[in-house]
Chains A and B, each alone.
Chain A
Amino acid sequence: MSVSTTTASSDVALIDLLDRVIGGGVVVSGDIVIGIADVDLIYLGLRLVLAPAHEVEDSVGLTRRRSK
């Protein structure tokens, strides 16, 4: 079997991409604003707050499925 190129692996690739988009990249000392239902939650010190979901879930013991 060769290195995976299936639909499932496409999903994994998308997860990895999103993980890198919000977990990698240059950290500039700006603000990160996460809006939920038109309410802005403003975070300072983005290195401390913005992390891929699995890291946060691991650290606080959340399940991987959330209800809206």
Chain B
Amino acid sequence: MLLYAVVPAEAEAPALAGVCGRELEAVRDSEVALVAEECERAPEASRPMALRYYKIVDHLSRSATALPVRFPTVVGDRDEIVQELARRAPRWRRRLDELDGLAELVLRASWPDPAAADAGQPGGSAYLRRRAAQVHATEQVADDLERRARQVCRDVRRLPAIAGVRLACLAPRTAESELRRLLDEWQQEDAGREATLAGPWPPFSFVDQQEAAAS
């Protein structure tokens, strides 16, 4: 069975076809339910499938607090879901209460390379100096943006980024405009700075304190 999200026990599975084209069902514990779909085989981990999964999780999160399950996670049968619920329901219920009314926004920021002027210098030590300057700048920007974001975000996590800084922000859905204003301010303080804001989404990066910290 393909797993979608943990929701409060009283929540209903939406009347939507799942990724595998079947009805969704809510397997319940006294505290929470896991929304799942019977699938003959696991869906491929492709972009279209991931987006179909996301649309269902997003739909769920608009009517109840939802902890999305990492896509694509498949368990053998309902018994495995029941076992998982028995083991983790109290923790999931606490987290659902903590995340009530909150969503995730992801901000990206980039800025001019502080070592661009030295880029033509040959040699290993010049390269290492450039890299040190880049890493230092990244840390400074990340600290600065995190401090600003915490004015509106209940929690902030740094996400991996190939270049620049990426932060996940846990905030009320209504905080989007305020976060956008803070990013506008940061952007206008120096030429060449760019920022983007994505979301709001279900809180993928904040589902569980321990799991989020380890991932």
Enumerate chain A interface residues (CB-CB to B < 8 A). 1-4, 9, 12-13, 16-36, 40, 46-47, 50, 52, 54-55, 58
Complexed CA–CA distance, A9 and B201 (Å) = 16
B45: contacting residue among A2, A12, A32, CB under 8 A: A32
Is A32's CB under 8 angstroms from B211's CB?
no
A20: contacting residue among B47, B51, B201, CB under 8 A: B201
B69: contacting residue among A4, A19, A25, A52, CB under 8 A: A25
The binding surface of chain A is classed by DSSP as: mixed
Q: How far is the CB of A44 from chain B (nearest CB, A)?
A: 12
Is A32's CB under 8 angstroms from B3's CB?
no
**A-contact bits for B14-48, CB 8 A (1 contact / 0 none):** 00000000000000000000000000011111010
Q: How far is the CB of B11 from chain A (nearest CB, A)?
A: 15
| Residue of B with least CB distance to A18 | B50
Set of chain A residues within 8 Å of B104, measured between Cβ atoms = 20
Q: How far is the CB of B69 from chain A (nearest CB, A)?
A: 5
